[in-house]
Amino acid sequence: MTDNVEAFSDGQGLIAGLLSSGESVEIPDHWLSYYQSRAQRNRGGRKTESPSSLIKYVSCPLSWFADRHAPENQGGVFVPNTFGVLGTAVHRIIELFYKERPANRDDSTLYEIRDDVWDALTTGSIKGGIIDANTLKDFQYAIDHPFGNFTKQGGRAFIEKRVRECVDNLLAFDDRPHRTKVKAQEKWSRAEINGISFNGRVDLIVESPKGGNSVIDYKTGKSHLDEDEVPSFDHLEFFKSGMYSVTEPDVDYIEQWYLMEELNVRLRATDERKGFVNAVIDDVTSQMNRIENSGKLRINPASSKDCGQCAYCPIKDVCPAWNDEMSLMDIAEAMKDKEE
């Protein structure tokens, strides 16, 4: 296994390999000054990231920077899409379901909540707090700007179909929800390493019937595990949940509920694995701080333009990794034009 400190320190494993690969480039001066002043712009004067942004950094620092720190990207390029709003809708339905008193957690309540959330999204109503204004805005944007080959009608139909399928399958993971002991859900969790705060929201923490507490992460897409692959924290899908095993006290397991596949991947959060998570976060935050001091970051493309981290990256058409004549200034100009 490579999800331990010794293997990571020796450069073994997926994450260690990603963090040491790619070509270093200088970022534009206005990118650097904007990045250096980020703490002053944030509430509380902190340099902030999230578990998701850490995973994006591991995959490709340039994509992470363009998404999170380029001044041109004020919601202009990395925008809500079909799959993102699908996940948000399903998470909201499950959140409301587990907020119910245990005695009320049955299939009829679950389907009633599902219908209420869908009605709120499609009628544009935020009355009663079923959904919030940001969720509605993201949903409407995704419908009006279809992703990939979707039409507006096709995108909406796809989201509705997937929402129904995911919700139908929930009870395959928790067939006795009235007995589930919820410790916390949709809980904000924070940790600070090397002067950078990581703020994330845990889907659900429950007392496991097998003993101990489990962090549950809902997945509305498909698992990327190979058929014979043994799951570990040295896998980007599981590392994010692994971070919560470090930031939340008394967590013994992490679980990924792949609702479309009825697949539950359960990993024990051992001290060894928690040490691995801390080592990775320490390395990533150190690299982020070096960018601030050196003005350089890495471009880490996938093996081809249409796979891995590059497959859905919105800046790949102007990325120097795939276009020899392009520079980071071309990315800045492309994002600026998109925003306008």
Specify the pLDDT at position 75: 52
Q: In this model, does residue 339 exceed pLDDT 60?
A: no
CB 143: neighbour CB atoms within 10 A? 19
Provide CB contacts within 8 A for 55, sequence distance 6+.
236, 239, 240
Q: What's the pLDDT tens digit per position in 148-193?
A: 789 999 999 999 999 999 999 999 999 999 999 999 999 999 889 9
Among 61-75, 159-173, 271-285, where is mean pLDDT lowest? 61-75
Over residues 103-119, the pLDDT tens digits come to 999 999 999 999 999 99
pLDDT digits (tens, 9 = 90+) for 12-55: 999 999 999 999 999 999 999 999 999 998 878 899 999 999 99
The phi, psi pair for 89, rounded to 5°, reads -65, -45
As a whole number, mean pLDDT of residues 245-261 equals 92
Whether the per-residue pLDDT at 76 is higher than 60: the answer is: no
* Domain assignments of the chain as residue spans, ordered by start: 82-177
Reported as half-sphere exposure (CB side, CA atoms, 13 A), residue 113 has a value of 24
pLDDT value at position 79? Answer: 79
Percentage of the chain lying above the pLDDT 90 cut: 81
| Torsions phi, psi for 151 (to 5 deg) | -90, 170
As a whole number, the mean pLDDT across the chain is 92
pTM score of the predicted model: 0.91
- Cβ atoms of 177 and 231 within 8 Å: the answer is no
Pairing type for strands 213-219 and 253-258 reads: parallel
Q: For residue range 188-243, what is the model confidence (pLDDT) as tens digits? A: 998 899 999 999 999 999 998 778 899 999 999 988 888 788 899 999 989 999 99
Tokens of 268: 């024990």
pLDDT in the model for residue 312: 85
The pLDDT of residue 1: 86
- Give the model's pLDDT for residue 123: 94
pLDDT of residue 147: 81
Which amino acid appears at position 133 of this protein?
Answer: A
Return the percentage of the chain with pLDDT > 70, whole number.
Answer: 98
Q: Using H for helix, E for strand and C for coil, what is the string for the chain?
A: CCCCHHHHHCCCCHHHHHHCCCEEEECCHHHHHHHHCHHHHCHHHCEEECHHHHHHHHHCHHHHHHHHCCCCCCCCCCCCCHHHHHHHHHHHHHHHHHHCCHHHCCHHHHHHHHHHHHHHHHHCCCHHHCCCHHHHHHHHHHHHCCCCCCCHHHHHHHHHHHHHHHHHHHHHHCCCHHHCCEEEEEEEEEEEECCEEEEEEEEEEEECCCCCEEEEEEECCCCCCCCCCCCCCCCHHHHHHHHHHHHCCCCCEEEEEECCCCEEEEEECCHHHHHHHHHHHHHHHHHHHHHHHHCEEEECCCCCCCCHHHCCCCCHHHCCCCCCCCCHHHHHHHHHHHHC
Reference 216, options 191, 179, 187; nearest CA is 187
* DSSP-assigned beta bridge partners for residue 266: 255
Largest CA distance in the chain: 63
Per DSSP bridges, beta strands 23-26 and 47-49 are unpaired
Distance CA(147)–CA(38), nearest Å, equals 31
Span 246-252, mean pLDDT?
89
Closest among 217, 202, 308 to 265, alpha carbons compared: 217
Q: Which of the pair, 337 or 330, is modelled with greater confidence?
A: 330
> For position 314, what pLDDT does the model report?
86
pLDDT of residue 49: 93
